[in-house]
A and B are shown apart, each in its own frame.
Chain A
Amino acid sequence: MAQTVMHPVVKLEKFTKTYFTGEVEVQAVKGVNLTIEPGEFVAIMGASGSGKSTMMNSIGCLDRPTSGTYLLDGVNVGGLDRDELADLRNSKIGFVFQGFNLLSRTSAVENVELPLLYARKKISGFDQRERAQQSLEMVGLGQRYDHHPSQLSGGQQQRVAIARALVNRPALLLADEPTGNLDSQTSIEIMNIFQELNRKGMTIVMVTHELDIANYTLRTVVMRDGRIVTDEPVKNRLDATTELIRLKEEQQAIKLASS
């Protein structure tokens, strides 16, 4: 096999996104340069209106830049049509949303299979089930494959969503406020899964406005008014496994004190 050239997973150059709402022209992102290499774990932060959601949608190939270029895993997204964008999302990106966005009244394993149903390279029904099952095992839900979302807790639902994002072996895991609907312990559990996936080499980009969640990543990018204001490695990085143990001890202590 030929020598593999390592592309950056995400490469934005003078990336600009402009919306036209009636007469008014809104520049949501103004000429951003950003490169994310394979194996990175990046948090994109910023207040609402900072342009981070627009960035997220563009990195996720849900949208195209107005000007500038965006290369996803070496593919120029700017020149692609709607269908090609859909195929690119299918093969290269795994989405995790704040609201989980699972299909209701559909079992966990069928939810996880969803991206495989739209894969351009056909996968047999048997393989689909197998890969979905593996994916669920990766997030520790192997036993709950036949549960419906309504039978699962928020944390479990988010883990099903992560399994769904992983099932097509994407180049990039894109998480939009993945802990926004979860309590602090469950949030740390989710960050634990992300850190583990990252250690195995998965590139993760996560949008969040919570600083303590951002501290579980390796690099934070802060945006304001459509521009990147800071882009630096995380200094006091938190380890989710340690944090979980600490949290459990604290709860133990409270229990002992109250009894």
Chain B
Amino acid sequence: MISLTPVKIAVRALQRNTMRTLLTTLGIIFGVGAVIGGVAIGNGAKSRIEEQIASLGQNVILVLSGNNSRGGVSMGFGSAGTLSKEDYEGLRKEVSGISGVSPEVRSGAQIAAGSANIQTQVIGVGEDYAGIRAWNIDNGANFTETDVKNANKVALIGQTTATTLFSEEDPVGKIIRIKTSPFIVVGVLAKKGMSMNGSDQDDIVLVPYTSAMVRLTQATSFRSFNVQAANASLVPAVQKEIADLLRQKHKILEGRDDDFIVRTQQEITEAATQTSKVMSFLLGSFASVSLVVGGIGIMNIMLVSVTERTREIGVRMAVGARGNDVLLQFLIEAIILSLVGGVLGIGCGFGLSALVKKYLELPTLVSSDSVIIAFGVSAFIGVFFGFYPARKASQLDPIEALRYE
């Protein structure tokens, strides 16, 4: 049986100086609180990014037109206009394992309905687009393959656009004017919220790409293709097939660079979470520094305490405490200090994360891992920083210690 007596001795000693005990734990409280809070903020950011990426749809592969550079200045994705109608037809017919393909053209345009008018993003897409992006239609219906084939003047509008143009009214069946052409609203898209870069995804108008290219942009090439693989395991194969097909269609010779970019959702996710990982790591490491400083605080106090309590140690030894009893007492004191600090710090971390959530409106997520790690680390700090002072105390000579003034 393990005796609880050393714990009793240590607790009594700590109770004798409550104020000092509290002040000593403060360093650990802040350290652990900062670690937990910091990691919670990092995790929150990460989970939001993941959520946004999930809103792109499942198993999505993006094909972007290559970038044009003019005088060494890159003009950005899609500027080269290398994705043609033939490419699209090819993708639809020749690539296996895909459940949906949609081209995309974009154009900013003035939209009017009745007396209301706004400037917004008009995206020309195929009939698969809403399905690929897992974008439900709240009201009305998606436009059909026939609408696309005939370049019908039909539109799906986002929630924000709907409220701005029609306020409380049901927009389905109403006419909106995009630039100069009238379009019939056939459906209202479900709310999707903010995108990764902070723009409102619900301020949008989707029209058949055929209509957009003929009536709005006069463009002849696509900005990108959204391709959805039938399932996750097919994604790499589909990615390769697309690349091979496009190289063949674009007649790119062996050894030359692609004039297009094929990105899987996973690659996009990785790039985005990398940023939040770096943020978590930075927050965590700054907080860890304060945890170490807290530990050094404990060591400092314990060292001072050993000197100040030399006589007490002498008395304890005189009445029969062995060196190990004294070592254990001081070690347990240090561990209790850091554990109490750890527990209070975990509380502070939760508080901090709740405050950030409430007042800064940033997402936070306290992970159970960080709680367990913080608790473990504070116990370790107690042992690590408590050992040296405790050993010093245990090696005192009882005669010297009793004589100490």
Contact = CB atoms under 8 A, between A and B. Distances in A.
A62 B8 contact: no
A86 B16 contact: no
A185 interface: no
A130 B318 CA distance: 22
A83 B316 contact: no
Contacts of A117: 5, 8-9
Interface string B202-240: 000000000000000000000000000000000000000
Contact of A89 (B3, B9, B320, B323): B320
Contacts of A62: 317-318, 398-399, 402
A164 B319 CA distance: 9
Interface residues of A, number: 28
Given A82-B323, A97-B402, A104 B318 contact: no
Interface string B309-340: 00110111111111111000000000000000
Select the residue from A60, A82, A86 with max chain B CB neighbours within 10 A: A86
Contacts of A57: 399
Interface of B is mostly: helix
Contact of A101 (B9, B323, B402): B402
Size category of the binding interface on chain B: 20 to 34
Interface in B277-335: 311-312, 314-325
B12 A118 contact: no
A87 B324 contact: no
Contacts of A97: 315, 402
Interface in A60-85: 60, 62-63, 82-83
Contact of B320 (A90, A103, A104, A110): A90
Given A103-B16, A106-B12, A118 B322 contact: yes
Contacts of B320: 86-87, 89-91, 115, 118-119, 168
A82 B12 contact: no
B316 A114 contact: yes
B308 to A, nearest CB: 11
A104 B16 CA distance: 8
Contacts of A200: none
B178 to A, nearest CB: 82
Given A83-B324, A97-B402, A122-B3, A60 B16 contact: no
A168 B312 CA distance: 19
A105 interface: yes
A257 B324 CA distance: 61
A206 to B, nearest CB: 16
B368 interface: no
Select the residue from B314, B318, B321 with max chain A CB neighbours within 10 A: B318
Contacts of B311: 101
Contacts of A63: 399
A122 to B, nearest CB: 7
Nearest to A120: B320
Given A86-B321, A118-B321, 13 more contacts: A57-B399, A60-B318, A62-B398, A63-B399, A82-B322, A86-B322, A86-B323, A89-B317, A97-B402, A101-B314, A103-B16, A117-B9, A118-B320
